[in-house]
Amino acid sequence: MERNKVYKNVSLTKFNSWKVGGKAENFVICSDVIFLCQLIKSKKVQRPIKFIGLGSNILVRDNGVKGTTIVMHKGLNNFFKEEELFYSEAGLSCSKFSKLIAKEGYIESAFLSGIPGTIGGALAMNAGCYGSEIWSYVKKVKMINADGDLIERDPNDFKVGYRKIQKKNEAENFVGAWFSFPKGKKVEAEENIRKLLAHRKSTQPLSWPSAGSTFKNPDNNHAAKLIEDCGLKGFMIGDAKISEKHANFIINLGAAKAKDIEDLIKHIKKIVLKEKNIKLIPEVEIIGDV
């Protein structure tokens, strides 16, 4: 599929980590900022416009997504050091970003190494793990607004929370960002990445399609523990299964439909509310038509 070209009715199955879902009414893989600006400026491009990265935190419904879906991860992945700041475009993967920072001899990027999304997706979600979050390292961001113009924003322009951010203007999307990481030892930074990836491999069902943690952790609690304590590990709807290895992961055994996953999400919420009186909030974003 050619980059920077609008296609009609493209299956999004290959563009999300659960490997499910319907078609994008209009679909573009964007690898060029100038093209991106022209595309958004064009009145012909059908609205709403939805930016996606590696699709590792979305559940695309079976009936597909109206408007235009813009995939950012196959290009728009420039990375460079500018004085003491690192600039990354939104399409770069978090794992590559983490390794590039470590290679330069800067520390604390390891937490991003196992997050299978893009920098744009991580900024949109305030991605993080093991006590670290991406927005702690952001100095400035480059955004594209609804008119197709590039603007720079300061972190103070965002309300940053646990796996969520509030933008000043919801119609703006991320094109890139400048980050600051502490200087340290390259060997130590690279060793931290190795340890973290090994830990993830031993605790998460990484060989199955999933979207990582399905629910946010409630205050002073763990979604995985609550789900496990309700006896739900291994519970299935169609080919969607609550992982035995990590109860907050829903895995696709092969032929799951998005509806199976959504029904399983609803089932988990219902049981945890009934048994524990705790309302679980999905971390994954459900997109598309019912």
Ligand X SMILES: Cc1cc2nc3c(=O)[nH]c(=O)nc-3n(C[C@H](O)[C@H](O)[C@H](O)COP(=O)(O)OP(=O)(O)OC[C@H]3O[C@@H](n4cnc5c(N)ncnc54)[C@H](O)[C@@H]3O)c2cc1C
Beta carbon of residue 277, minimum distance to ligand X (angstroms, whole number): 26
Q: How many whole angstroms separate alpha carbon 55 and alpha carbon 120? A: 11
Give the bridge partners for 196, in sequence order: none
Give the pair of three-digit tokens for residue 67: 């408007």
Instruction: State which residue, 102 or 141, has the beta carbon closest to ligand X.
Output: 141
Query: 148: burial class by Cβ within 10 Å (0-12, 13-18, 19+)?
Result: middle
Binding characters for ligand X, 181-220, by CB under 6 A (x = yes): -----------------------x-x---xxx--------
Count of CB atoms situated within 10 Å of the CB of 138: 20
Task: Determine which residue in the list 22, 120, 282, 288 makes contact with ligand X, applying CB under 6 A.
Answer: 120
Q: Which is nearer to ligand X, 116 or 257 (CB)?
A: 116
> What 3-state class would DSSP assign to 49?
strand
**Least distance in Å: CB of 273 to ligand X?**
24
Report the residue number, 129 or 278, with the smaller CB distance to ligand X: 129
Helix 186-203 with 94-103: angle, nearest 10 deg: 150
Out of 127, 138, 223, 250, which residue is the one contacting ligand X (CB under 6 A)?
127
Residue 215: which residues within 8 A CB-CB, separation 6 or more?
223, 227, 248, 268, 280, 281, 282, 283
Q: Which range, of 50-58, 149-157, 186-194, 224-232, touches ligand X by CB under 6 A?
A: 50-58
* Residues carrying an active site annotation: 163, 213, 283
Report the nearest approach of ligand X to the CB of residue 259 (Å). Answer: 19
| Residue ranges binding ligand X (CB under 6 A) | 17, 50-58, 72, 90, 115-118, 120-122, 124-125, 127-129, 163, 173-174, 204, 206, 210-212, 285
